[in-house]
Structures are given as structure tokens and as C-alpha cells.
Amino acid sequence: MRIAVTGSIATDHLMVFPGRFADQLLPDRLDHLSVSFLVDRLEVRRGGVAANIAFGLGGLGLSPLLVGAAGTDFAEYGVWLKDHGVDTGGVRISERLPTARFLCVTDQDANQIAAFYPGAMTEARDIDLPALLTGRERFGLVLVSPNDPSAMLRHTARCRALGIPFAADPSQQLALLQGGQVEDLVDGADWLFTNAYEAALLTGRTGRSREEVLASVGAWVTTLGGDGVRIERAGRPPLTVPAVPADIADPTGAGDAFRAGFLAAVSHRVPAESAARLGCALASLALGAVGPQSHRVDPGRLSALVEQTYGPGTAAPLAPVLGGPS
């Protein structure tokens, strides 16, 4: 099954603060916040949610189509992605704006404060998704990840009109979207991805209960950080998959790596529990590297991590993705 990944393409500027944010913030002064953190490390890395997920899918041999907008400074980045198995034929190059920038400071507790400059991403709304998806090759799934909000809504509507299954990953853009817009992005999705905070934000924005959200999607996948991931379907008990232990070098992009591993397995019709195990294993590799595309997507190592964490034989269902005996 071929996957199209729509969303942001960016350059990440990652900084590390050697202290704790909580020690620098005064609870009675948060309404007049003016604070500066002296960081001791800066890493400039390739990023963007869609590009990160496509990188992971490419490393697992899926040749995903990346659909997003970037600037004329994207040339070197584009070569990198092609070299890692990503089809960049769906990337629109802006003639006037640079590729988006993500600036993030991480403290010693892995808490993050970030800012995002959209740049060329604002032109993603002008991408003609049907023209990219209606050729001779049929796409089995479109992931709608954080992007220009108008582009997210447009891509979702086009998927419904074309009858192409889609996954909803509104993530950071939930803070900008109104309740009706969130419903437009989520309703009818085969898969809905959030973290625990975003899950609460989604129900708050829409005024819907968890049960009502579940009734509108095929499955809801919620990442829980060190507690793993929860998969819920309407009328069924929730399934929780523990995380794969990791030595955290940088948390940026771990959720994107999880989605790549999960969707790679789903594309091969692997059961959801095993798909989540692969997602957690790939997230652990991402956590151990600085930057969301600095880890090596190694099928052998991923298989070993799954077996070490979940027990002998648990990697067998993932053979269509990772190779080896099934």
C-alpha cells in the first residue's frame, strides 16, 4: 500500500537548556512573562512533521510521496530525502518564501518550549492533491499531518471526495483550529493520531466526549510518552502497548518516528498491536539521536528491540516490514 504524507517541511533549530524551566518560572508572574534561557548547545537539523514521517517510511522501504511546500533553499534537503527513499514529487517550491523554521529549547527534564515560522508552508493550500493522487498508481492512505490549516482542511476534503482512506494527525495545529474545523479534519478518518495532551485538547475544542470521537473514526491512537501508546476503537476495550526503553538524547521527532513505524506496519496489514510495537521501537531509535532524521532506520535492530521489549516471537508479525521469518 502506497502512502502519501502531507504536512510540514522545516529546518529544526534545536537548543538544550542545562536547567529546568520550572525553576525559572514564577507562578504569580506568568501573565507578564519575560524570560531568557542561556542554552549550551545548538543543533540545526532537517525536520518538519511530514518530512520526518516520510523519512521513517522511506527507511522501511515504502517510498512515500511527500506532499508539502518548501522554499528554494530546499534543494539539498530534497536530495537527502530522495537518498533515503522518499518521493519528493509532491513538494511545491515557493519562489518568495524560505522553508519553514522550527525553533525549540529542551530542558533537562525533556520539557520543550518551541516556536514555528511557517514560511513557504503557507503555500501548501495551493497544492492540487487530486492531481498527485489520481494517476495510474493508487494510494492506499493519505496522512494529513500539521500544515497550513487551510491545506489540512482542503486535503481532507479531497480525500473524502476521491474516496481515498486518510489518517488525521492534527497535533500542534489543534491550538489554532476551531471546533468545527477539528471535526472536519477528524470525521471519517481511518486513524486518528494524538498525544495525551492533544487528546484532551481535541475533546475540549469539539465539545465531544471520547466515545463520540471514537464513533467518528476507525481507531484513535494516543501516544503516552514513556507509558507507551493506547489504541482505542468504538465498542472495544482499549489496547495499551508499553514503550521501548530509550536513552533520550533529544525528544524532537519521536512521535513522528512512531507514526512512521506504525503506518509502515499498517500498510502491510500487520495487526495494530504489532504495528504499535514497531512504532515504539522506531521512536526509541529517534529518541537516542539528536534531530528527527539523525537515526538509522535499521530493520535488524528494530526487530531485536521488539523481541527484547515484548518477548520472543513478537517480531514475527512484522516480517513483511522488517524481513526475516514470519
Range list of H helices, 61-194: 75-83, 129-133, 149-162, 179-186
Q: What is the number of other CB atoms lying within 10 angstroms of the CB of residue 51?
A: 33
Is 40 considered catalytic here? Answer: no
Residue 81 contacts residue 60 (beta carbons within 8 Å): no
Q: Which of 107, 148, 169, 256 is catalytic?
A: 256
Which residue, chain included where needed, has cell 476521491? Answer: 162
Q: Is 187 exposed, middle or buried (0-12, 13-18, 19+ CB in 10 A)?
A: middle
CA distance 167 to 180: 18
Residue 69 vs residues 58, 86, 87: alpha-carbon distances, Å:
19, 15, 14
Residue 230 contacts residue 224 (beta carbons within 8 Å): yes
DSSP H/E element including 135: none
Residue 87 contacts residue 228 (beta carbons within 8 Å): no
Residue 105 contacts residue 37 (beta carbons within 8 Å): yes
Backbone φ and ψ of 179, nearest 5°? -55, -45
User: What count of residues does the chain have?
Assistant: 326
CA 94 to chain centroid: 23
Q: Residues with catalytic annotation?
A: 256
